[in-house]
Amino acid sequence: MPDADYFRELARRCCTLAMASIVPEVKEQLRLWAAEFADQADDAERRAAERESTVPQRSLTATR
């Protein structure tokens, strides 16, 4: 599954393309995609944080 960095990079690309585009409909679609990718990045970060908080911590002392 793609991580937050992947989605953030896609959002950046869409923003860059939107700035370069001269067709209003294309600019708007790229802006929408950028927002959706940013939301997906936020969701991926939230899921990762939830997984980290539910993973049991290992003891640093050796058990015998």
The pLDDT tens digits of the residues spanning 4-59 come to 999 999 999 999 999 999 999 999 999 999 999 999 999 999 998 888 888 666 65
Helix ranges (DSSP H) in 1-64:
4-20, 24-54
pLDDT at 4: 95
Tell whether the model's pLDDT for residue 63 goes beyond 60. no
Cβ neighbors of 34 (< 8 A, separation 6 or more) are 11, 12, 14, 15, 18
As a whole number of angstroms, the distance between CA 46 and CA 30 comes to 24
Q: Which secondary-structure segment (H or E) carries 23? A: none
> Taking the model in full, what pTM does it have?
0.77
Structure tokens given for 41: 């990045």
Neighbours of 22 (CB within 10 A): 6
